Structure 1
Amino acid sequence: MSLIRITKHFDFETAHALYGYDGKCKNIHGHSYQLYVTIIGTPINDASHVKNGMVLDFGDLKKIVKSEIIDIFDHATVLNASSPHKELASKIESHSSKVILVDYQPTSENMIIDFANKISKKLPTSVKLHSIKLHETNNSYAEWFASDQS
């Protein structure tokens, strides 16, 4: 049976700041992120199975990504907990309930690693995470491929 890749696209809005950065992104700013999640597996080959012919129901993939990423990061401010931004987070929280402190610099590169770990843990054993693409802007994005990981 053939291995097939399926991809689901998601949009979300997130603000972040890069502590210690030498450019404009040291300031709190936001992005309209576009996330593409691709999984790989063999389509179910069982005429009596309700999901016959599917690698994974797109709706099931949507539930995983929505609960692990979108519901958490959409319209949130993401800051590095290991930086003085932790103090800033406590001030922002009194005005906004969605502040996320992460243990990394919240770049697209680090966010995509975090996302890959979260999504991989929730996928059924019959499929694997193949790749993720995270657009920070229309012309700038980070990519993660399972085949590149050691």
Structure 2
Amino acid sequence: MIRLTKIFTFETAHALWGYDGKCKNIHGHSYKLYVTVKGIPSNDVHNVKNGMVMDFGDLKSIIKRLIIDPLDHAIILNAHTEHKKLGEQLIKEGHKVIFTNYQPTCENMLMDFAEKIQSELPAAIILAKLTLYETETSYGEWIKEDQ
């Protein structure tokens, strides 16, 4: 079993409805997402991906489509709070708003990402771990073995 990790970055804003600290205000992060998959390298000499668990380019394509393109330079807001009104106004003004069904914390984003990514991976590839840095010194992890 071999693990592969690819690193992605994106800029996203969010606000935490009902939070008792500074993060109740709209603010942004330079997120860094580490995506680790695992599998057995191909041993088929007739396969163009021979020797690979997964082509890094294929992994990049999946993450870019599911996570990076939708979230980069957007604001994430919980659709089940008063932030829905704010988001609707921002959309009217031409801003990129993503509504979630959860409080857009690092922890909840990781669970959302894991579900989306695993559903798009080839059957033989397992999403092993996600690490999401919100700041240079603060991050959360989703690990398959913990689920």
Q: Partners in 2 of 1:24 and 1:95 — Cα distance?
A: 25
CA distance in 2, matches of 1:13, 1:38: 21
Cα displacement string for residues 78-121 of structure 1 (whole angstroms, at most 9, x for unaligned residues): 00001000000011112234101100000000001000000000
Structure 1 equivalent of residue 110 of structure 2: 112
Partner of 2:120: 122
Of 13, 18, 21, the match for 1:20: 18
Aligned to 1:91: 89
Give the aligned partner of residue 145 of structure 1: 143
- 2:102 partner SS: coil
Q: Distance in 2 between matches of 1:95 and 1:109?
A: 29
- Matched position secondary structure for 1:14: strand
Distance 2:93 2:33 in 1: 27
Matched AA of 2:39: G
Aligned residue in 2 for 1:74:
72
Write the distance in 1 (CA, Å) between the matches of 2:94 and 2:145: 39
Between the aligned residues of both structures, percent identity stands at 59
Look up the SS of the partner of 1:121 in the other structure: helix
- Measured in 1, the distance between the counterparts of 2:146 and 2:84 equals 32
Which residue of the partner structure matches residue 11 of structure 1? 9
TM-aligned CA deviation for residue 7 of structure 1: 0.3
Q: Unpaired segments of 5 or more residues in structure 1? A: none
The two structures have a TM-score, normalised by structure 2, of 0.98
Matched residue SS, 2:81: coil
Deviations 1:11-62 (A, max 9, x none): 0000000000000100000000000000000000011110000000000000
**Paired position in structure 2 for 1:102:** 100
